Amino acid sequence: MTIDVTLLGTGSPLPSPDRAGPATLVRAGGLNFLFDTGRAVNMRLAASGVVPPMLTAILLTHLHSDHITDLNDMITGRWVMSPEPNPLPITGPVGTSGVVDAILAMLEPDIGYRLAHHEDLNVGPEPVVTDVDGGVVFDQGGVRIVAAATDHRPVEPTLGYRVEHDGAVVVIGGDGVPCAGLDELCAGADVYVQTVLREDLVRQIPFQRFLDTIDYHSTVQQAADTAQRAGVKKLVFTHQVPAPAPGTEAEWIALAADIFSGEIVMGIDLTTVSTA
């Protein structure tokens, strides 16, 4: 059996007409897992053939705004598109429950409108939130998901995830720099999805707020080193900073290929890779 990974959104906080916000769909054993919920995630989900009621769970790597921009859309979409009550499991780092509570408060007028309008809606949205700091966060239907702390300081806590199914392994690294938790997750993985940054390009832009991104994102070379050290088979770049100029993709791959001997995938929205 294989695990399929679809990059729903490969963008950064800077708006792009071509790249939605950070979000990744992992399909394993007939189950659908959504990692992060960046802008336009619902549109990209639809393009991949999945709608919110079909999600098994949402798992968040961290609470940076660009990774949770459309979490409210997932909560509302799950609720109004499901013919029967359909609680939405949401797992994330400590603090996630507070964010979801705030989203529900923001949605309070909308929830009231819909309950008043639709006789078959008797209860509001039902997100079921679990704050975690690591360990096994899902183990059903032959799919096991393990979380571990990552390093995206000063953003903390943050998590990466390892999805295991029938001997296949996918790792969602999220944002952040190399660390022991990431090494543990990536050990022997078939596919490793990682946010990457080109330090040489970022340093060409004399704006301190942008230069600060170097502090807490893996460079292309660092991601390649993590993958090589862990024995990963496929390294997938997502959430590239800055967004690659058309025709420069080979440059990014070449920087990694000097370090990593496996397959390298330069992700764009709706890129799909598998563990096969």
- Could you write out the DSSP letters of every residue in 166-217? TTEEEEE--SBB--HHHHHHHTT-SEEEEEEE-HHHHTTS--HHHHGGGGGB
For residues 176 and 195, give the distance between their C-alpha atoms in angstroms, rounded to a whole number. 8
Whose structure tokens read 């409210």? Answer: 72
Predicted confidence band of residue 51 (pLDDT cuts 50, 70, 90): very high
Per-residue pLDDT at 156 exceeds 80: yes
**Domain ranges in the chain?**
3-271
Predicted confidence band of residue 211 (pLDDT cuts 50, 70, 90): confident
Question: Which tokens in the block code for residue 148?
Answer: 């571990």
Residue 127 backbone phi and psi in degrees, to 5: -70, 135
Reported as a single tens digit per residue, the pLDDT across 166-200 is 999 999 999 999 999 999 999 999 999 999 999 99
Whose structure tokens read 């989203």? Answer: 103
| Catalytic-role residue among 4, 18, 36, 66 | 66
3-271 sits in which CATH class? alpha beta
For residues 227 and 95, give the distance between their C-alpha atoms in angstroms, rounded to a whole number. 29
- Could you write out the DSSP letters of every residue in 109-127? HHHHHHHHH-TT--S---E
Find out whether the peptide bond into 13 is cis, omega within 30 degrees of 0: no
Residue 240 backbone phi and psi in degrees, to 5: -70, 135
Whose structure tokens read 């008043």? Answer: 116
**Model pTM score:** 0.96
Per-residue pLDDT at 276: 85
- Could you write out the DSSP letters of every residue in 75-88? HHHHHHH-SS---E
Question: Which tokens in the block code for residue 204?
Answer: 């060409």
Mean pLDDT for 74-94 is: 97
Mean pLDDT for 203-227 is: 91
Mean pLDDT for 70-87 is: 96
**Known catalytic residue: 66?**
yes
Per-residue pLDDT at 1 exceeds 80: no
For residue 20, the Cα-to-chain-centroid distance in whole angstroms is 12
Indicate the helix (H) or strand (E) that contains 47.
helix 41-47
For residues 251 and 146, give the distance between their C-alpha atoms in angstroms, rounded to a whole number. 33
Predicted confidence band of residue 13 (pLDDT cuts 50, 70, 90): confident
- Whose CA is closest to 194, among 156, 230, 246? 230
